[in-house]
Structure 1
């Protein structure tokens, strides 16, 4: 018969199981791999873990894989794709390692296992499970700096790309749009039409016609065929999601370029402050483009939203569980109180029954005595009459 495969790691998915393992193995060396649900556990060092457990520690090393999303003591390791390995003894973190460098991790693991086997345990060494070590603090600060730099880089790239696209489109359109001009507002930007409408009279622009058009994919491709930006599936989907607004303008000043003027109105001009209005009634100090622009969320933003939704679901589940537990406790207390009242009522009823039985017996005894006295008096009177 084939032998059953022995699992190398013990999977820990709850705070309760994690505390149980630590409480019942205080004197044993524990090595845990901390991972997050979106990344999963790392398997690159599994061969090294076999050597650590069966060759270096003679089977005494306990290997755990702990899900940081469910263990509050390891919450500082959440939202990280890099694996973290912790060596724990007497519920204290005595060493930690980040990454998958086989050689460096083997040096750290061999050193800790040898110290454990030799019994060289330094009193007071290590950190609490929920306490961040200096290495953790330094790594967290480094990650925050890298994240900020990445966000700044992405923002600058988006701004540069948008500026280049606007400049290139303006250059393409200027030679062809002199007097009669057509502007197509995307479905999610049709409100920007009002920003242009309010400045018609100031710039000698008249509207020849306007119409809301539900574009088809063929017509959208015909409109965008000469664009400098690549046509992707997301752009087509957004353009076809709702009716777009098409407006035909005529610029009366022939010495002006409509595209340059429209670009200035939509992308550069900021509405002035009206002194006659209150501060909370003032228009936003933004360009029309900044007010109505829209970007597709990044991969990190999507993951962050999913994590927030998952965290919200967990909090709602815990809240509902606490409400159910509170309701069960309330019903239990109510049942106990009702049982006490019922027992008290039975006692009172029993007392009344006992009192009723006692009064009845007294009345019976009294009636019997009166009957005997009456009979005795009757006999005596009868004798006297006969004499």
Structure 2
């Protein structure tokens, strides 16, 4: 008891903000061990701290253990398992130490006591602020996370590119003479007949055409290997628009597919010359079949964005005309000042406005209106309140005009892009040789539980296996820091458990029932959203991770033993009459009485293990004995005398109520 009392006096216990504030008011060097509730303080360092306290520190050294879960200034240490030691003087932090290396900690405490005794100038930090060591560690951690995310993104992108290359290779191999064209939104449905005229001369046949609502995601796939992609501005305008997409079969004798389709696009967009006719005596130009579409829209100016205001050709012509008129006015008035015409124009406009105002005043008689309708003064909004509302209103975003010229037809200049468009827009043409895309992984999160609750958690896992594709035992629930202990729940039973061990699950967030069922076991960690869950799952369960669900032979034997009992023949013979009589009194059904699970006909030997379940003893009055003797049970026989079969009624007399009679098999 004395030792326990010394341990309590050695380190003060801090669990609230008030406790921390009171402890920081103490003089001398303060050493605070920060821990999480689930991990607990480092008990192995108590001896070292006691020795330093008694031999060196004395009253100038004060020790405390702080629970980071409940102290606001120490929240940054929550969920960390590494021992952390804060050094403070006069209520301010001066140093920090990580780990459980007792000699290093002792040397650091002695060094801090010497510096305090020398009154040397120190850099002080607020207890809640990060120290330089923490900032550097946080920077390294963030860089590591960013690097891991970048590597994962690149890996995912490469995997996607490899899959698209595989699909397009199959399409080019099986459909070597096809190409795809995308028409702009200015091409309507009833124009296809005109679009087919140049195609006939180029030996092109339209095998399929569709009016599809395209998206920017479609163009992202189409442009992955394209050398002449549409610009981002054009794709932004086309996003969500319904476009005509045509699937062409081209005669190989016409030439390469991109070249033939480019010629087809040129025939549609070039200006034509019509021969003389009744209206025109000479050849005259005709507009192209399809023309570009000019679109103008407003976009919000981003912070720090620098742009040059775009001016269309038509507006430029108007500006030139206005400038020419102003120059003409200047020459007529004999002045070169460009401000003069503008000033005269303004004066003329003011005079006209004054004349209109005077006429309006003369037309309307002088009338006064009393607009006081007797409303309460409380409802009146003062000018100051109006000004406050105007000031509170958010400023309007700055916008600029953007102009985009949408081509009437777009043709890719390489075969792989045409194969990609077949993959995106005409997937039905590839059913015979291209398998369907793999089902994308559903959104998921990470849930962690104490390893001691693994049996309860695994019951839910086995019941909802489709929603929990992966699980394992780890040293903690911190993604990136936790180390895998085992991928088998059975192998962990033979290991030395630790209080920090966690069973981590990857839970698909398709149905919320699984998550709700698991919440009852009080998870120690749960992902905040599916994006965090995806990144955390990659750290816990990389692509090459496989959960080991095989049951080891020794575990299988243990499970089998739990389901079996040892039955002696004498015990069965002694207890069978009481079981049968109890069943007859309570009226329990046949399935309620279980004696043995073995279905073997041979009688059991002494010491033989029998399964717990067995065929039920018959309570049918038609076959029950009349003299109180116990009928034989299938799978068991008495050791002293053979079963009495004389008291059993004849098979033809055994009839069940409301059922046709059947002959019982002879034993």
Same fold flag (TM > 0.5)? no
Q: TM-score, normalised by structure 1?
A: 0.42
Which structure ranks higher in relative contact order (CA pairs < 8 Å, sequence separation ≥ 6)?
1
Higher helix share: 1
